[in-house]
Amino acid sequence: MSSTALRWVKSSYSSEEGGNCVEVATESGSVHIRDSKTPASPHLTVTAAAWAAFLKLPGRG
């Protein structure tokens, strides 16, 4: 799927001050991850299960 056709959502941990900004989009069991400062750059795609496991990693909060 084209990056422009996805509905991207900025992480709640991202700030408006231009720091580390991550956006995610979900589609058919996949999660797409990109740097919001460079939206035209390639993005990473992982399975929904891999994303869920990443979110449960200790030390992320």
pLDDT in tens, 40-58: 999 999 999 999 999 898 8
**46 pairs with which residues across the strands?**
31
Collapsed DSSP state (helix, strand, coil) of residue 51: helix
Q: Give the start-to-end residue ranges of the domains of the chain.
A: 3-55
Rounded-to-5 percentages of helix, strand, coil across the chain: 20, 30, 50
The DSSP secondary-structure symbol of 4 reads: G
Q: Find where tokens 């956006």 sit.
A: 23
pLDDT of 61 reads 55
Under the banding of pLDDT at 50, 70 and 90, the label for residue 16 is low
